[in-house]
Structure 1
Amino acid sequence: MIHSVLIFNNDGLPRLLKFYTPVDIPTQQLLLKQIHKLVIGRPSNQCSFLTPPPLLEDEKYSDLKIIYRHYATLFFVFVVDEQESELGILDLIQVFVEVLDKCFENVCELDLVFGWQVLETCLEEIIQGGMVTDTTIVKIVNAVDEANKQVKASSSSGMINLGGNNNQGQNRGVFSTTSLWNAMDSRLSGWGR
């Protein structure tokens, strides 16, 4: 199982912290600092598999491994248990980065900062609940593009969908923000006169 996915830059600033097992925020921050300290000093000719940092040396975490790849100014780190293959996770990191590169058209750190919704969507298309759901780059990119189209269409039409998909063709759970504001404006226009 994948327990967490961390993306941080050379300075240790987090760009993504996703935990699939419950971890309180102070522990997340400490874990980020310790993992950053472990990977930042490693020469590039050493392997990308690490034993857990001191925080995770507790017996209940003894089966965890840290697998990472360094791209430009970013570290992509996966904390996994012993059931996951190290080489499989390295390949998964490569798939994740290739998906990001296609979605952002030559991804850089600023894309992840300002396009965090796309970053989250890409990760959710690949991993859900700590399990890998898909690794087909074309399918993942198409799903992310479709999600982006739906977000743009809903925001440009002034519609907010609260009810999810509805197969009966009804507009249950959907309302227009424009008509809502017009209704409120007409009610308030005579108020106080």
Structure 2
Amino acid sequence: MIHAVLIFNTSGVPRLTKFYTPIHQAPQALVEKIYSLVSQRPAGLCNFLDAPELDTFLKPKDPKTNAAAQKLRVVYRSYATLYFVFVVDGAESELGILDLIQVFVESLDGAFENVCELDLVFHFDEAHHILAEVIQGGLVLETNVNEIDRAVQDAAKARKESFASANPLSLGGGGAVGSRSAGLQTPLNWLAGRLTGVGAR
């Protein structure tokens, strides 16, 4: 199971945090602990490590579950100024999670055209939506980048249509047949008409 997905920059400032299991301490303390584990590792080492230090932060172990399956691991990849970190248990394959990080980054790239730190700051809602297309409740839903991109584009289109139909003064309304804004001009069309004299009395 995936317990957490974190993105933070090289200074340790979190840019996206998503927890799939309850935590006992402040999320910021967990981010700082993971950052201290990841940032001190030399570049030549592998991209996953055992993290028994995180046991105190996450949900207590179920005595009925295999102890090996409960062992927490941190799997991460560094892209430019960002660390993409997944906290997983023994049921997940480390190499599979590395591939999943790559899928997530490619999906972000598709949505933002070369994703950077500012995209995650100013479009955090879309970044969370992309993550939700990949992972739900700590389980992997989709790994096909094209399917993820299609779902994100469909949701964005539905959002725009919903906004345009609910707001007759929106610039994208256009007065489509059957919509609430039918027959109404957008402010931009009205202003353009006034400036060119077309809409003058």
The amino acid that maps onto 2:76 is Y
Q: 1:10 to 1:107 in 2, by over 3 A?
A: same
What residue ranges of structure 1 are gaps of 5+ in the alignment? 160-174, 177-193
Cα pair 1:2 1:78 within 8 Å, conserved: yes
Instruction: Note the aligned Cα RMSD (angstroms).
Output: 2.1
Counterparts of 1:50-69 in structure 2, within 5 Å, are 50-52=49-51, 54-56=53-55, 60=61, 63-69=71-77
The equivalent residue for 2:104 is 96
Normalising by structure 2, report the TM-score.
0.74
Counterparts of 1:91-130 in structure 2, within 5 Å, are 91-130=99-138
Distance 2:132 2:161 in 1: 21
Aligned residues: 160
Identity %: 55
Distance 2:15 2:52 in 1: 20
The amino acid that maps onto 2:39 is I
The equivalent residue for 1:136 is 144
Deviation at 1:120, TM superposition (A): 0.8
Deviation at 1:71, TM superposition (A): 0.4
Larger radius of gyration: 2
Distance 2:97 2:54 in 1: 22
Cα pair 1:38 1:53 within 8 Å, conserved: no
Normalising by structure 1, report the TM-score.
0.77
Cα pair 1:35 1:53 within 8 Å, conserved: no
Of 141, 151, 155, the residue aligned with 1:147 is 155
Give per-residue Cα distances to partners, 1:117-155, cap 9 Å, x unaligned: 110111011101100011000000000011111111212
What residue ranges of structure 2 are gaps of 5+ in the alignment? 62-66, 168-179, 182-201
The equivalent residue for 2:176 is none
Deviation at 1:56, TM superposition (A): 2.3
The amino acid that maps onto 2:121 is V
The equivalent residue for 1:30 is 29
Quick check: which one's strand share is greater? 1
Distance 2:32 2:52 in 1: 10
The amino acid that maps onto 1:155 is F
What is the DSSP-based 3-state SS (H/G/I as helix, E as strand, rest coil) of the residue aligned with 1:8? strand
